[in-house]
Amino acid sequence: MKVALVYDRVNKWGGAERVLLALREIFPKAPLYTSVYNSKKAPWADVFKVKTSFLQKFPKASSSHEYYAALMPHAFESFDFEKYDLVISVTSEAAKGIITKPKTLHICYCLTPTRYLWSGYDEYFKNTTKFLSKPVISYLRRWDKIASKRPDRFVAISKEVQGRIKKYYGRESIVVYPPVTLTGPVSLFPCPTSPDALPPAGARRGSPALATRHFKNKNDYFLIVSRLVPYKRIDIAIKAFNKLKIPLKIVGTGILSKKMKKLAGPTIEFLENLTDKELLSYYMGCKVLVFPGREDLGLSILEAQNFGKPVIAFKAGGALETVLNGKTGVFFYPQNEDALIKIVEKFDSLRFNPDDSIRQAQRFNMNRFKKEFTATVEKFLNKR
């Protein structure tokens, strides 16, 4: 069976890119089709045979793709998938709009319906920009609706996204959670296909609680791992920790990097372009992960829990599917700095068992993902 993967653009690193590498473990020979490719910003993609659209030849397209938003639909419609039996689009934007023939099964693994067109429109566009962008947004919304009819099947990364697919596209979908792929010394459990295979909490051999104590860092800081974009609401955390005057480390970059750095006080540190090894050390050394946005799923939540760390998250979105309130973390609500401050101030009075966090993360392990995604593909192929 000939398989191809399709992704919106290959010029960054984050949770979606980890999903692509997980899919490559299932389909190791599948090439990766995309609008633009920046090999310097995306060295992770070296393992793929990357096939780009005509936009690759446009000035600065691989680094500033947003200037070509109106051309993205044409970029993905220009690809030819005649020789493939199965095409899997991994997308939060235009990749689902590829055109395939009846003999080719197109499965869309949807990260979210295009955020800046639908659920996040008000966060991305304010007053003047909303007025100026209206013609382009209207065109893209019409096309996005059309494109949403093209996949034969939708698979959502979470129940949150499943609800959005139904709301904005009118399509049914099934949920297959992506895997936690960032692991390290604390993750001493094997990756069983079922959480029932996990050893009991406090097991003496390879106990994650013992591992957590062993790697405990004296730098008692709070941690955020996130792209710096509007819907992540990193500004809420920065304002809260400015008032609290306690250490917060923020790992990530994005279009709001300069703005967030100007907003931050002396107890807040920004860390960029970390290797996985460096990121592991910050997860292991932190006191708790802070998650202030409404996310599709939130892989950083699972990564933190995989190191036995609790989470403080906004009570909405994918966090409701990944955090066990009072057991692996705690929620704040409403989505503002005062609510977050209240939770942080009482956090030291709360008690969390690292074993519980690791057990929760291991429910999203790689073996489970491979098994569920492969079974889903086989089911869809059999129903053709």
Tens-place pLDDT, residues 346-375: 999 999 999 999 999 999 999 999 999 999
In a domain, 126, yes or no: yes
Mean pLDDT of the chain: 88
Which residues face 290 on adjacent strands?
312
Bridge partners of 88?
5, 107
Whole domain around residue 272: which residue ranges?
A: 195-363
CA atoms of 158 and 321, how far apart (whole Å): 8
DSSP letters spanning 4-16:
EEEES-BS--SHH
Say what the pLDDT of residue 22 is: 96
pLDDT reading at 79 higher than 60? yes
Q: What is the pLDDT averaged over residues 243-264? A: 96
Q: Are 323 and 278 members of one domain?
A: yes
Whether the link from the prior residue into 208 is cis, omega within 30° of 0, is no
Instruction: Decide if 154 contacts 165 (C-beta within 8 A).
Output: yes
Q: Is residue 333 helix, strand or coil?
A: coil
pLDDT for the residue 181: 87
- CB of 218 within 8 A of CB of 242? no
Q: Are residues 253 and 172 in the same domain?
A: no
Task: Select the more confidently predicted residue: 352 or 201.
Answer: 352
| Pair (155, 215) in one structural domain | no
The CATH number of the domain holding residue 119 is 3.40.50.2000
> Are residues 299 and 162 located together in one domain of the fold?
no
Closest of 66, 189, 93 to residue 147, by C-alpha: 93
Structural domain includes residue 43: yes
According to DSSP, the β-strands at 86-91 and 50-52 are unpaired
Is 190 contained in some domain? no
Separation between Cα atoms, residue 126 and residue 30, nearest integer Å: 40
* Shared domain check, 240 and 297: yes
The total number of structural domains that make up the chain: 2
Read off the pTM.
Answer: 0.86
Task: Determine, yes or no, domain membership for 185.
Answer: no
Beta pairing, strands 32-34 & 174-175: unpaired
Degrees (nearest 5) of the Cα angle 167, 173, 176? 125
| pLDDT 10s digits, 36-57 | 999 999 999 999 999 999 999 9
Domain shared by 113 and 237, yes or no: no
Q: Within the chain, how many helices (H) and strands (E) appear?
A: 14, 13
Q: Are residues 222 and 333 in the same domain?
A: yes
pLDDT digits 0-9 by tens, 54-69: 999 999 999 888 889 8
Instruction: Return the pLDDT at 148.
Output: 97
pLDDT-based confidence at residue 125 (cuts at 50, 70, 90): confident
Domain presence at residue 145: yes
SS3 of 19, please? Answer: helix
Residue 278: what pLDDT?
Answer: 93
